């Protein structure tokens, strides 16, 4: 098995301006992704009901694509829910929101990603308390995903988006405290470029824990449009036998089609 390519499609109006390659038009995005030779698409929808499971199944079959993953960040972007809020009601809203996206994604064989929905510690919630909330939620949702036949993907973010776990070393130590074995890591090269001393070494630290990769450049432009050292990254991924998706989560710079083309070119150069 080798690394497979994927490209993001956002269906979330409130996320406009964010780092997603294709926007709003699933059919056009799937056609373009297939034309460029991508293996899969990653879909970011406002909520579980807005994931058009039947349409996606039909489109991906038609174009011989897979669904690599589904995002859950809509719960944060639209409702400001997250897993570390002080009141149990808001944490439950966040968990229910994620659970329903796990279920929708599982119908397409796609795992859900917990990125922005992990939240942060602030105010009355201490760091220790927040990590306890996160641990409990990942245990519960990880087992829920296991029953649905998919892993659960946890994405460490950079310090400007979360103050929970920003680096590989801390994340791996935290993972070791989970009861579930169904949580894998999303290594987003943009976040890692901000936080890690050496991205290739951090990928080695994650090792077998990595289940998904956001393939993007240092400035969050498409791979190849910044100063990321992809040669070093590619050797680290080879060393750890990484064989899941490298998914283009980047700004549609200078436009969606060019961003998708730049990423697949870099993918073919370094990771294929």
Which residues are the active-site residues? 155, 249
Buried b (16+ CB within 10 A) or exposed e, 93-120: bbbebbbbbbbbbbbbebbbbbbbbbbb
157 binds, among Mn ion, ligand LER, none (CB under 5 to 8 A by kind): ligand LER
One character per residue 201-230, x = contact with Mn ion (rule: CB under 5 A): -------------x----------------
- Where would I find the beta strands (DSSP E) of 163-266? 183-188, 210-214, 245-248
∠ CA 199-246-45, rounded to 5°: 115
Eight-state DSSP code of residue 117: G
Binding flag, residue 42, Mn ion (CB under 5 A): no
- Other CB atoms within a 10 A radius of the CB of residue 67 amount to 23
Does position 249 interact with Mn ion (CB under 5 A)? The reply is: yes
Total interface residues for ligand LER by CB under 6 A: 11
217 lines the binding site for ligand LER (CB under 6 A): no
Minimal distance in Å, beta carbon 69 to Mn ion?
10
| Residue in the structure block whose two tokens are 């439950």 | 92
Cβ distance to ligand LER smaller for residue 104 or 117: 117
188 near ligand LER, judged by CB under 6 A? yes
Q: Tell me the two tokens of residue 128.
A: 């220790």
CA gap 122, 234 in Å, rounded: 37
Nearer to Mn ion, 62 or 259 (CB): 259
Q: Answer for the pair 84, 52: CB distance below 8 angstroms, yes or no.
A: no
Question: Interface mask (CB under 6 A) for ligand LER, residues 52-91, using x and -?
Answer: ---------------------x------------------
Alpha carbon distance 34, 205 (integer Å) = 33
Query: Would you say 206 and 239 are in contact if contact means Cβ atoms under 8 Å apart?
Result: no
Under rule CB under 6 A, residue 115 binds ligand LER: yes
CA angle 23, 27, 28 (to 5 degrees): 60
Our finding on whether 116 is near ligand LER (CB under 6 A) is yes
Instruction: Give the x/- contact pattern for Mn ion in 165-204, rule: CB under 5 A.
Output: -----------------------x----------------
Residues 140-159 interacting with ligand LER (rule: CB under 6 A) = 155, 157
**Of 103, 161, 196, 217, which lies in the binding site for ligand LER, with binding defined by CB under 6 A?**
161
- What residues line the site for ligand LER (CB under 6 A)? 18-19, 73, 115-116, 155, 157, 161, 188, 214, 249
- What residues line the site for Mn ion (CB under 5 A)? 188, 214, 249
């Amino acid at each position: 098995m080798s690394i497979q390519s994927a490209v993001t499609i956002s269906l979330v109006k409130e996320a406009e301006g964010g780092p997603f390659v294709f926007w709003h038009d699933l059919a056009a995005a799937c056609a373009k992704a297939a034309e460029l030779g991508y293996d899969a698409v990653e879909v970011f929808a406002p909520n579980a009901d807005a994931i058009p499971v039947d349409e996606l199944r039909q489109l991906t079959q038609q174009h011989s694509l897979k669904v690599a993953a589904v995002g859950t960040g809509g719960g944060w972007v639209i409702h400001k829910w997250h897993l570390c809020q002080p009141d149990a009601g808001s944490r439950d809203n966040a968990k229910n929101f994620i659970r329903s996206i796990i279920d929708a994604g599982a119908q397409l064989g796609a795992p859900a990603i917990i990125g922005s929905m992990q939240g942060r510690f602030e105010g009355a919630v201490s760091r220790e308390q927040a990590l306890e909330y996160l641990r409990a939620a990942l245990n519960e949702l990880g087992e829920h995903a296991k029953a649905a036949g998919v892993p659960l993907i946890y994405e460490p973010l950079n310090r400007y988006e979360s103050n929970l776990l920003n680096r590989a070393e801390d994340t791996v130590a935290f993972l070791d405290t989970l009861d579930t074995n169904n949580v894998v890591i999303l290594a987003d090269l943009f976040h890692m470029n901000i936080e890690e001393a050496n991205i290739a070494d951090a990928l080695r630290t994650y090792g077998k824990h990595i289940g998904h990769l956001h393939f993007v450049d240092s400035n969050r432009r498409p791979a190849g449009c910044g100063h990321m050292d992809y040669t070093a990254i590619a050797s680290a991924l080879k060393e750890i036998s990484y064989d899941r998706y490298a998914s283009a989560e980047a700004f549609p710079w200078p436009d969606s089609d060019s961003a998708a083309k730049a990423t697949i070119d870099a993918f073919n150069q370094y990771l294929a």
